[in-house]
Amino acid sequence: MFDETDLFHRGVALQEKKKHDEAIMAFDEAIRLNPKYVEAYYSRGNVFEAKGQHDVAIDNYNQVLRFAPNEAVAYYNRASARGKQGKIAEAIADYGEAVRLDRNYAKAYFNRAMAHFKVGDLDHALEDYCEAIRSDPEDPDAYVARGLVHAMRGSLDAAVADYDEAIRLEPDHAEAHGNRGNAFEKMGNYEKAVAEYNKVIEIDPEDTKAFTNRAVAYLKTEDCVRAIADYTEAIRLSPKNAKAYCSRGQAYYRQHETDKAMADYDEAIRLQTNYVEAYVYRGIARAAKGLREQAHQDFDEAVRLDPTCAKAYYHRGLAHGADGQLDSALADYTKVIELEPENALAYCHRGVIQTRRKELAAALADYAAALHLDPQYAKAYYNRGLVHIFSANFEEAVFDLSEALHINPQDHRAYQNRGLAYERLGDRSRAEADFRQARKLTSHK
């Protein structure tokens, strides 16, 4: 004859063997014999949780807390179950009870931090990761997680310091190396970023993300050949990775291999029919090939799929401008500015369209806005200088074209047009000097 303790231990043994249904039957019988058997409720809850039956698991943890209200681990497990149900606020509250009862409960701090992170509350996530590290300073995962929060808050040095510590604790921690590579990439240190991705690949040669991240670093250094090789390997490892096809297409496009680029964009769209970025990039490639109608179709589809995609409006604006559809181009650039008020490029291109429409005051306002956003925007100075020439404001034209040349001394058109402005001002010697420099630069092309 088994008593409740025997049945409980039998249930635990079955649980360890993953014989979940039999384990539940044993715990049921133990609880029938002793309706206040806390350990049996707890273990039965864990079995239901392992089966993905979160509601029933929570019912069991509730029973634990009914009879043992200071059981921190029951709050922790109930929080985990609630988190899997998407009840993040309730999960956070339960983790809070767990750490109230046990202020050194590192896993509870860690998981509460993850819950805060999921809802975008980086400040509280950072606080909890700090508490997790205080409670367990030897856990590399906590440093990796805190490092990611630092990186997302723009504190890249702090992020790298956390990844360093994680790697000191666990030298082959692939995620720490990968995240440190991402931080180096954001810092513009592409050589170090590549070294980190190399380490990830050494640890796990089938880590698709490491290959795509290394490819991005190679692209930042204009090493398209290696980038293409890495994207190709990522595609071999993950043949349905639409993003890898789209990214490889961009690398091919930079290599002026437009047909290969379009083939990759086609495949990306086949794999993911709502892939907005792939439509935009295919539209760019088609426009470069002179396939204007098809390019417009791609930009239109991108806008239909995502009416907030500024990049789609921008490139459709370029296409409309190339086709002489000035009103449509103006509308698209205006939409870009509405979506991205600090997009200097959009202001400058809208200024070009305004100039072509002979709306010179509006063009000057757009170039001024572009230069306010980017004082080193040589093309905006150049274009504004042309408007001043059209308006017979030759001194202003000389100023703007001189600024353009200060930023880009190799612009032969700026010399040519500044020469025209000097000529209209009666300064023949400076005009001739600019014309000579323009011819010299043109002959070297």
**CATH number (domain holding residue 421):** 1.25.40.10
Token readout for 214 is: 């290394």
Give the pLDDT confidence score for residue 129 in this predicted structure: 98
Q: What is the reported pLDDT for 3?
A: 85
In a domain, 18, yes or no: no
Amino acid at the residue 360: L
Mean pLDDT to the nearest integer, 343-355:
98
In a domain, 369, yes or no: no
First and final CA of the chain: distance in angstroms? 98
* 445 confidence band (pLDDT: 50, 70, 90): low
Task: Please state the φ and ψ torsions of residue 287, each to the nearest 5 degrees.
Answer: -60, -40
Q: Are 207 and 174 contacting, i.e. CB atoms less than 8 angstroms apart?
A: yes
Amino acid at 81: A
- Residues 6 or more apart in contact with residue 18 via CB below 8 angstroms: 50
DSSP codes of every residue in 178-198: HHHHHHHHHTT-HHHHHHHHH
105-164 pLDDT, tens digit per residue, is: 999 999 999 999 999 999 999 999 999 999 999 999 999 999 999 999 999 999 999 999
pLDDT bin (cut points 50, 70, 90) of residue 4 is: confident
Backbone Cα Rg of the chain: 31
On the CB side of 308, CA atoms within 13 Å amount to 3
Identity of the residue numbered 152: M
Q: Is a pLDDT exceeding 80 seen at residue 1?
A: no
Q: For residues 95 and 82, what is the distance between their CA atoms, to the nearest angstrom?
A: 10
In a domain, 401, yes or no: yes
Lowest-confidence segment of 2-11, 133-142, 198-207 by average pLDDT: 2-11
d(CA 17, CA 23): 9
* Domain span at 411: 390-445
More confident residue, 7 or 348: 348
Give the residue from 315, 324, 251, 328 showing the smallest Cα distance to 288.
315
Residue whose token pair is 């703007």:
400
User: For residue range 59-94, what is the model confidence (pLDDT) as tens digits?
Assistant: 999 999 999 999 999 999 999 999 999 999 999 999
pLDDT higher than 60, residue 402: yes
**Average confidence score pLDDT of the chain:** 96
Quickly tell me which residue has 């306002």 as its tokens: 365
CB 265 within 8 A of CB 235: no
Tell me whether residue 416 is in a domain: yes
Reported as a pLDDT band with limits 50, 70 and 90, residue 2 is low
Assess if residue 243 is contained within a domain.
no
Residue 400 in any domain: the answer is yes
In a domain, 399, yes or no: yes
Nearest to 315 by CA among 349, 362, 269, 267: 349
Inter-CA distances, 415 with 249, 387, 407, 408, 438, Å = 37, 15, 13, 11, 5
The rounded distance, in Å, linking the Cα atoms of 147 and 149 is 5
**How many domains in the chain?**
1
Is pLDDT of 398 > 90?
Answer: yes
414 in a structural domain? yes
* 357 has pLDDT over 70: yes
Query: CA 72, CA 113: separation in Å to the nearest integer?
Result: 17
Cα-Cα-Cα-Cα dihedral sign, residues 171, 175, 181, 187: negative
